[in-house]
Amino acid sequence: MENRVYNFSAGPAAIPHEVLQQARDELMNWQDVGASVMEVSHRGKEFLAVAHDAEKDLRDLLKIPSNYKVLFLQGGARGQFAAVPLNLKGDKKSADYVNSGHWAQSAIKEAQRYMDVNIAADGKSNGFSAMPSQDQWRLSKDAAYLHYTPNETIGGLEFSFIPDSGDVPLVADMSSNILSGPVDVSKFGLIYAGAQKNIGPAGLTVVIVRDDLLDHGSLMCPAVLDYKLQAGNESMYNTPPTFAWYLAGLVFKWLKKQGGLEAINEINGRKASKLYGQIDGSGFYQNPVDAQWRSRMNIPFTLIKPELDEKFLAESELEGFRYLKGHKAVGGMRASIYNAVPEQHVDALIDFMKEFERRYG
Ligand code: PMP
């Protein structure tokens, strides 16, 4: 199929095949305007319809309540690491953060530029193979918010529950697991996600924020990151990333066609349990995360004989498997199996793993 590889990239990551085909077909003459979607004003009626549809489809998929704004911004998830404290600090001195690994730590470091951070729970002492249970978390009553990272893209650790933050707004960096299954948005004050995994191309950041949190911004907040300002301008205070927004809209329609988040949730569960099954059942591969904390999106694994890692990567590449090299912070391999990675690609990887074990095990 058009020389496409088995793409296990952690991000930017695979985009559904049908979406790419549609984008290709529409590229030169989009909606009969005689230009591509990239070449027209974000304020023209054609693009405004795209923006509106994308928001509506995302609201439908996630069942976003009407008292939440949806923003389509730039700056990536790291931009949000700063935007969150700058917008939500209000008159509070500190915020609570859960340290679940690499990305949580990056969020903490950025927040510390703007306010005191209380580490409410920390998985560092056990190498982020699990997190302390919620009854051991040290939450502060007067925190501006509680921030956590539902899915650690590098460590491969995912929360299977939504933490209870009481009256304190709960903030989630859902960059690598948004839209992987249904989620009760009403439990959150704010959700943000860089688009380049389950939403679309890099360059777009989605923010879902409860209305009452729009009034806590600091004067220091850059205008482009100011939720209230962006909400008041339909995310068009500055020029939005129009192509990424358009493509995200196509991905949302694709997701609806798959049967929505319940259906994709089932497929994701199947894909992940097959791959973990292969890793655990082999005695040749291993994954460092405790079973109940394992990510369904990012599955790191190593070989019991680490000297074979390079051979695994080289031989898998020859068979068309790409971007399986683990993040440099952890080494080994990592298979990212976001929504757009077909189940057959996971099956093909498992077959390759079996064959590799047969030859070298
Ligand atoms: N948070 C998580 C969970 C991520 O996976 C990433 C990117 N891999 C980031 C934040 C940083 O995203 P960005 O590069 O869009 O700033």
From the annotation, which residues make up the binding site for pyridoxal 5'-phosphate?
A: 77-78, 103, 153, 173, 196, 238-239
Q: What is the DSSP string of 216-282?
A: ---TTS-GGG-HHHHHHTTT-SS---HHHHHHHHHHHHHHHHTTHHHHHHHHHHHHHHHHHHHHHHH
Question: What's the first-to-final CA gap in the chain, in angstroms?
Answer: 32
Count other C-beta atoms under 10 Å from residue 46's C-beta.
15
The CB density around residue 26, as the number of other CB atoms within 10 Å, is 14
Orientation of helix 260-282 relative to helix 343-360, angle to 10°: 0
Distances in Å between the Cα of 120 and the Cα atoms of 81, 97, 177, 222 are 17, 6, 22, 28
List the one residue out of 114, 361, 70, 37 whose CA is nearest residue 206. 70
The residue whose C-alpha atom lies closest to atom 15 belonging to ligand 1 is: 76
* Beta carbons of 284 and 352 less than 8 angstroms apart: no
In order along its 361 residues, the chain shows pLDDT tens digits of 578 999 999 999 999 999 999 999 999 999 999 999 999 999 999 999 999 999 999 999 999 999 999 999 999 999 999 999 999 999 999 999 999 999 999 999 999 999 999 999 999 999 999 999 999 999 999 999 999 999 999 999 999 999 999 999 999 999 999 999 999 999 999 999 999 999 999 999 999 999 999 999 888 999 999 999 999 999 999 999 999 999 999 999 999 999 999 999 999 999 999 999 999 999 899 999 999 999 999 999 999 999 999 999 999 999 999 999 999 888 899 999 999 999 999 999 999 999 999 999 8
- pLDDT value, residue 111: 98
Burial category of 291 from C-beta neighbours within 10 Å (exposed 0-12, middle 13-18, buried 19 and up):
exposed
Contact (CB, 8 A) for 76 and 207: no
Q: Options 1.10.357.10, 3.30.70.270, 3.90.660.10, 3.40.640.10; which CATH number does 18-257 get?
A: 3.40.640.10
Dihedral over alpha carbons 73, 76, 81, 86 (to 10 degrees) = -30
Classified as helix, coil or strand, 180 is: coil
Cα 211 to Cα 6: distance, rounded to the nearest angstrom: 41
Domain at 259-360: CATH code: 3.90.1150.10
**ipTM for the complex shown:** 0.99
Q: Kindly give the distance from the C-alpha atom of residue 358 to the centroid of ligand 1, in angstroms, as a whole number.
A: 36
Measured between alpha carbons, how far is 33 from 300 in angstroms, rounded to an integer?
Answer: 45
Do 18-257 and 259-360 agree at the fold level? no
Predicted structure pTM score: 0.97
Q: Ligand 1, residues 9, 98, 103: which to mutate, most atoms within 8 A of Cβ? A: 103
Is the shortest distance between the CB of 332 and ligand 1 below 6 Å? no
SS3 302: strand
Residue nearest to atom 10 of ligand 1 (CA): 77
State whether the beta carbon of 78 lies less than 6 angstroms from ligand 1.
yes
Other beta carbons less than 10 A from residue 33's beta carbon? 14
Distance CA 241, CA 6 (A): 28
Q: What's the pLDDT score for residue 3?
A: 85
CA-based diameter of the chain, in Å?
A: 62
In a mutational test of the pocket of ligand 1, which residue from 106, 149, 175 has the highest number of ligand atoms less than 8 Å from its CB?
Answer: 175
Domain boundaries, given as residue ranges, for the chain:
18-257, 259-360
